[in-house]
């Protein structure tokens, strides 16, 4: 139970960093931390005490004691999609820097257009 609480503390650190900081790159870093916390939470849900990694070893080992393979398959998809989202965010912020010469969102809001 305390492992779940630590995971939600990590998520709230990322959320706080996304809300409060004024630098665009710091906001991207905060979103990345929140994403790590969500992936960790799903894998914590599927862990079985004294379980093995879900790879079948020998022929007649059908009764081995495995951890749950379904959350691992879903989070594999999520990790690769997180990379794509980070790439698009970095492309947009490179364009914003090229036009306004700053990453500060207060300056950008003042120099609109």
Partner 1 sequence: MKQEKGMTLIVKRITKVTVSLIFLFGVYIVLHGHLTPGGGFAGGVIIALSFIHLVLAFGKEAALKRITDTVISVSESVGGLLFWGIALLGLVFAGTYFLNFLPKGEPFTLFSSGTIVLCNIAIFLKVGAGLFAIFLALALFRITDDKQEGRNGL
Partner 2 sequence: MIIVLMIAGAIVAMELEDLLSSIIALGAVGIGLTLEFLLLRAPDLAITQLVVEILSLIILIRATVGAKVPQEKIKARVGYFAFAVLFVVVFLVFSYRALGALPEFGAPIMKIGAQYIRDALTRTGAANIVSAVILDFRAYDTLGEATVLFTSVIGVLAILRKAGRKQ
Q: Is 112 in the site for partner 2 (CB under 8 A)?
A: no
In the complex, what is the shortest distance from the CB of residue 8 to partner 2, in angstroms, rounded to a whole number?
5
Please give the Cα distance from 68 to 15 (Å, whole number). Answer: 29
In the complex, what is the shortest distance from the CB of residue 98 to partner 1, in angstroms, rounded to a whole number?
5
Draw the binding track, 8-47, toward partner 2 (x: CB under 8 A; -: no contact): xxx-xxxxxx-xxxxx-xx-xxx-xx--x--xx--xxxxx
Q: Is 5 in the site for partner 1 (CB under 8 A)?
A: no
From the CB of residue 32, how many other CB atoms can be counted at a distance below 10 Å? 16
From the CB of residue 96, how many other CB atoms can be counted at a distance below 10 Å? 14
In the complex, what is the shortest distance from the CB of residue 83 to partner 2, in angstroms, rounded to a whole number?
5
Find where tokens 């306004």 sit: 100
Q: How far is CA 20 from CA 12, 13, 14, 15, 68, in A?
A: 12, 11, 10, 9, 38
Contacts with partner 1, residue ranges (CB under 8 A): 53, 55, 59, 76, 80, 83, 87, 90-91, 94, 97-98
């Amino acid at each position: 139970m305390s492992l779940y609480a630590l995971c939600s503390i990590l998520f709230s650190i990322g959320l706080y960093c996304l809300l409060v900081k004024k630098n665009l790159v710091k906001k991207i870093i905060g979103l990345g931390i929140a994403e790590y916390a969500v992936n960790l939470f799903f894998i914590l849900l599927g862990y079985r005490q004294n379980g093995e990694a879900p790879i079948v070893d020998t022929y007649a080992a059908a009764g081995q004691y495995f951890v749950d393979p379904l959350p691992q398959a879903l989070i594999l998809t999520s990790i690769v999609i997180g990379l794509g989202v980070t790439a698009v965010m970095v492309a947009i912020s490179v364009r914003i820097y090229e036009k306004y010469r700053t990453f500060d969102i207060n300056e950008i809001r003042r120099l609109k257009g």
